[in-house]
Amino acid sequence: MATQHSRSAARVMMAPAVILLLAWMLVPLIMTLVFSFMDYRPLRGVVECCVGFDNYVRFATSSAFIDSVITTLVMVAGILAITVIGGILLALLLDQPIWGQGIVRILVIAPFFVMPTVSALVWKNMFMDPVNGVLAHLWRFFGMQPHDWLSQSPLFSIILIVSWQWLPFATLILLTAIQSLDSEQLEASEMDGAPMLKRFWFIVLPHLSRAITVVILIQTIFLLSIFAEIFVTTQGSFGTRTLTYLIYQRVLESQNVGLGSAGGIFAVILANIVAIFLMRIVGKNLDT
Amino acid sequence: MARAVSPQKKLITTIAAWAIGILIFFPILWTILTSFKTEGTAVANPPVFLFFNWTLENYETVQERSNYVRYLWNSIAIAGGSTILGLIVAVPAAWSMAFVPGKRTKDILMWMLSTKMLPAVGVLYPIYLISIKLGLLDSKGALIVILMLINLPIIIWMLYTYFREIPGEILEAGRMDGATLREEILYILTPMAVPGIASTLLLNFILAWNEAFWTLNLTAVNAAPLTAFIASYSSPEGLFFAKLSAASTMAIAPILILGWFSQKQLVRGLTFGAVK
């Protein structure tokens, strides 16, 4: 059905989307790139062109940058570990025959739909508050000194909050993948007397490997730009300043646009490294 | 995996699954319950769970103090507007890619996906600057366009995977039976495409509703949606757990309900068809 006529019609139909996305990608990115080579501090009225790589050097050599990269990596790795391992276990559990499976699924998936500012505030105040938080009550109930989560272990607290939001995503995707597993294969191995752990290790896990990779990559892309959770809990203090938050502070809070833009380019490069891997997997899937 | 299991085993797994499900859901449940308490009851030690005097006063206070309805309207307008605008742009594009695939269709799809990977913070200042220059800072219009662009790749991808499942043979069969192009679109394609379009709409409405980078950074008062409304509660003023809960419940309730309807589409939409 692909005649010359329909081909040109298809091009016209595609054009708005392509042009819009092209503009959305190129215009701001080029502006950021230009700013990154300028001494641009609008609040002080400094607009000086062409400082070369000064901003990059200053951004990359500041201790804040190194710290923020480490914080980002710890945060992303921590959340990934919790959500992927938790997600596999939870998906295995939900795959079992249970009563009321639909309702349990709904309960488990719910946190994903909670907007980030709500979940951060609810956790910060109603759960992690050292006096009135639910966790403080729980700690006291067991005779322990309540833990002041957000000031004593702020990074871990944020990891917990974000993990709670993303665990449903990992669970749901892994559950979908498990359910596509050929049950005959499992039954056969069960009859052959393979113990549960072996069945999991040699049959279930290899089957899940692709879904796990997809979960890791997609989450990484979203997690690299965590913002709201930090914004309403610690504002980047106490060692919770990620690269995203650092750039936000440079650009909007202290209005050092040149420096922040150089940081922005670093963030773009970092995200692209992850993106390349994700694109490969998605691309392979297109051929089938 | 429908395998026969003993009732005991089923009972144990049921209890375990319910326990974990309730544990995960508990923060939401607790927020909803607290929203019906007085501020005093909300911080009672030990905490009260169900047996307290239920009250609606927090909802009234929140509405009076911060005009919840206006934020709600902004959220609906921004999420709804960006989703509809996105669909208007995406449906023709996905349509042509699914039914008239060319040599470069795959490259275009991949490139579209790659724009989604661009970290927002990398383009924060340019967007901020453009919004100011166009007088669009703190306006719903700017956010509608920005959120539309952010979610456009997901919308196109979701639609594409749905459209591709519509068999081309059915169109040929219709044509053989003498259907005109208009009839073909109206009676054959549209009914088959509607479910896909509906679930795309739903998922993107949810994503736009919860978006909390641009909505926090580009709004002040007029265009601020519920994400910003909630963030304004981040500095506590005295006793405020119950009011915070009421505000939170109002911000998440609409989307929680929509979300439960869309859980199947969620997987497809967020993995770009890589996991089905």
Q: Cis (ω within 30 of 0) for the bond into B46?
A: yes
pLDDT of residue B1: 45
Residue type, A203: I
Q: What is the mean pLDDT of chain A?
A: 84
pLDDT of residue B23: 92
pTM to 2 decimals? 0.84
On whether ipTM exceeds 0.90, the answer is no
pLDDT above 60 for B57: yes
- Partners of A46 in beta bridges: A41
Contact A228 B272 (CB under 8 A): no
What is the pLDDT averaged over residues A17-23? Answer: 90
CB of B155 within 8 A of CB of B204?
A: yes
Among A97, A99, A114, whose Cβ lies nearest the Cβ of B252? A114
pLDDT of residue B28: 92
Q: For residues A246 and A227, what is the distance between their CA atoms, to the nearest angstrom?
A: 10
CB of A219 within 8 A of CB of A83?
A: yes
- Partners of A41 in beta bridges: A46
pLDDT band at residue A209, thresholds of 50, 70 and 90? confident
Q: For residues B273 and B229, what is the distance between their CA atoms, to the nearest angstrom?
A: 34
B 188-247 → A contacts, CB under 8 A: 206, 209-210, 212-213, 216-217, 226-228, 230-231, 233-234, 236, 240-241, 244-245
Scanning B177-262, the segments in alpha helix (DSSP H) are 181-183, 190-210, 214-217, 226-231, 241-261
Query: Which residues, in sequence order, are CB contacts of A44 under 8 Å at separation 6+?
Result: none
**What's the pLDDT tens digit per position in B167-192?**
777 777 877 887 777 777 778 777 88
Element (H, E) at B179: none
pLDDT of residue B220: 75
B25 close to A (CB below 8 A)? yes
What is the pLDDT averaged over residues B73-85? Answer: 91
B168 close to A (CB below 8 A)? yes
Tokens coding A130: 């050292």
| Closest-approach residue (CA) in chain B for A126 | B241
